[in-house]
Amino acid sequence: MSSLNLNSLGVKKLNLRKLEVEYVEILSLVPNQYNPNTHQVDSFNLLLKSLCMFGFTQPIVVRKGTNEIIDGEHRWRAAGVIGLELVPVTFIDLTDEERRLATIIHNSARGTHDLNLMKDIDTYLKKKNVDLNKELLKEL
């Protein structure tokens, strides 16, 4: 397998974290107000079917301290619909700016996006002088 040149992505260093999964009460998690994905009935029904057939294949990513969902809100909603009381979660530590950016990046590869919300988040991050790679945002 060949390796990717991180500089070509505008990434200065690789930031890998050791992730631990724990099961938490579904009602303790909070949806993310900055999630750019919109709800599509067909894809949600497919997710429900997958969750019933295979269970969780990846944990929900949650911001430590706030229990706000960073990635996996549709999985969280689907788990609630089928009546699960506990869901697998990985907690990560993020600043407010990192949370907004992570939410866009983690959620932009799937679903239908609220483009106005994505613009608002981008504008906010620029006002805060957050160092964003313009090429990366173009891909979003």
pLDDT at 140: 40
d(CA 69, CA 76): 9
Cα 50 to chain centroid distance, Å, stands at 19
What is the pLDDT, as a whole number, of residue 96? 83
Mean pLDDT (10-residue bins), the chain, 140 residues: 65 75 97 71 85 93 93 91 96 85 67 59 67 45
* Cα–Cα distance measured from residue 65 to residue 92, given in angstroms and rounded to the nearest whole number: 9
pLDDT, residue 137, reads 45
Indicate left, alpha or beta for 21 from its phi (over 0: left) and psi (-120 to 50: alpha). Answer: beta
What would the two tokens of residue 132 be? 């964003």
Q: What is the pLDDT of residue 110?
A: 53
Report domain 19-139's class: alpha beta
For tokens 């998690």, the residue is 29
**Domain residue extents for the chain:** 19-139
Give the pLDDT of residue 98. Answer: 81
Cα distance between residue 101 and residue 85, in whole Å: 29
